[in-house]
Amino acid sequence: MNRRGPYGKTAAKREEILAAALELIARHGYRGTSVKAIAESAGLSPAGVLHHFGTKERLFVEVLRRRDQLDAARSRADVAAAAETSPLHPLDRYAALLDANSGVPGLVELYSALVVEAADPSHEAHDFFAERRAEGQYLLTRAVRRMQEAGTLTTGIDAGVLATVLHALGDGLQTLWLIDPEIDMGGTVTALLHALRTDLAEEDGPAA
């Protein structure tokens, strides 16, 4: 019990720091958010923040990890809500995720900046992005394959190849969107999927 008390307090403080960082970065961006600002919001000193995470880079990696967890929870809730009316196609959730990202430009900036820096194997974010990419590839491939097996998505392209295309498209769109916020990220992915969906082609019918 004695060990649980301090551990619980440490975990709670980490959650508080991550919540503060998420809010500040979403509002002010990656480069506009300092450890000092995060510390002040969490009621700590900068040294106190780094005590929990080690380095600024590690803190930002955990911010992205928490964002992914929140996105996954929101996606599950959307699926559950849609099941009562009109079931969501698995890949529609990917487009919806990009639409949601347009509401948190600071986090998109953080992701886009770190994913480039993390190409260096020695960077503290490298393992996070490598694992995230592998998981994303698995989930997208599974979603594509299930739709192909259900006859709702073209089988003219390998499931793994299309998953890679969608993953790269999502990352690329976010970078372009930071330069031109008029770009419709979710709409672009939806348009591509619409062109590949065999069930929609049947619904549209032959051209007049």
State the pLDDT at residue 72: 84
In tens, the pLDDT along 42-53 reads 999 999 999 999
The verdict on 3 and 33 lying in the same domain is yes
In tens, the pLDDT along 136-160 reads 999 899 989 988 998 989 999 999 9
The residue among 35, 54, 73 that closes a domain is 54
Sequential DSSP letters for 82-103? HTTTSPPPTTHHHHHHHHHHTT
The residue among 54, 70, 90 that closes a domain is 54
Contact 60, 129 (CB under 8 A): no
In tens, the pLDDT along 5-32 reads 554 668 899 999 999 999 999 888 888 8
The verdict on 144 and 71 lying in the same domain is yes
Residue 2 pLDDT greater than 70, yes or no: no
The verdict on 135 and 198 lying in the same domain is yes
The verdict on 131 and 88 lying in the same domain is yes
- Indicate the number of domains in the chain: 2
Sequential DSSP letters for 107-142? HHHHHHHHHHHTTSTTSTTHHHHHHHHHHHHHHHHH
Full-model pTM: 0.81
State the pLDDT at residue 11: 87
The verdict on 126 and 166 lying in the same domain is yes
Q: CA distances (Å), 110 to each of 48, 54, 65, 160, 192, in order?
A: 22, 18, 12, 27, 26
In tens, the pLDDT along 75-118 reads 777 666 665 555 456 688 888 889 999 999 999 999 999 999 99
Q: Which residue type occupies 178?
A: L
The verdict on 32 and 123 lying in the same domain is no
**Domain span including residue 200:** 56-204
CATH code at 13? 1.10.10.60
pLDDT band of 71, cuts 50, 70, 90: confident
pLDDT band of 134, cuts 50, 70, 90: very high
- CA proximity to 184, closest of 63, 55, 96: 96
The verdict on 43 and 140 lying in the same domain is no
State the pLDDT at residue 82: 60
The verdict on 43 and 23 lying in the same domain is yes
Residue 3 pLDDT greater than 50, yes or no: no
Residue 203 pLDDT greater than 60, yes or no: no
